[in-house]
Amino acid sequence: MKGNRRADTKPELALRSALHAQGLRFRKDFLLRTSAGSRVKADVVFTRARVAIFVDGCFWHGCPDHGNTPKANTAYWGPKLSRNKERDKRITNELQADGWSVIRIWEHVPLPRAIELIMKTKASKSAGGRGG
Ligand SMILES: [Zn+2]
């Protein structure tokens, strides 16, 4: 199946309402600044637990299952998409160096699995953290 499947599915919206349904409080589209000087907006952020969640589109972020570079215009898309991937990696590293837990969720990941992953990360963070 080819074609453009963007506009009508908004995985980050579905994720947020599912998290709300779990009774979780979080910030959305929250701007993070790393001490290395990068700025990035995370889709969901638990500021106290320092957990940042990014819902990554399969195409733009180069998911291993669906992230193929388009055959047309490879010279344009190839470098562009690999820059996205490099940036993702760099941001993740910088945030982790600042003490954040970073969760990147491909848009194709089923919602219940995404929620489970987030709950688990958040729980381990609160248990092992300094508290408060
Ligand atoms: Zn995918």
Quick: pLDDT tens for 12-64: 999 999 999 999 999 999 999 999 999 999 999 999 999 999 999 999 999 99
On the question of pLDDT at 128 being above 70, the answer is no
What pLDDT shows up at residue 8? 46
Ligand 1 geometric centre to CA of 81 (Å): 14
What is the pTM (predicted TM-score) of this model? 0.85
Ligand 1 geometric centre to CA of 124 (Å): 27
Across all residues in the chain, what is the average pLDDT? Answer: 89
| Integer Cα distance of 85 and 117 in angstroms | 22
DSSP secondary structure letters along 28-56: EEEEEE-TTS-EEEEEEEETTTTEEEEEE
Ligand 1 geometric centre to CA of 12 (Å): 14
| Integer Cα distance of 28 and 85 in angstroms | 22
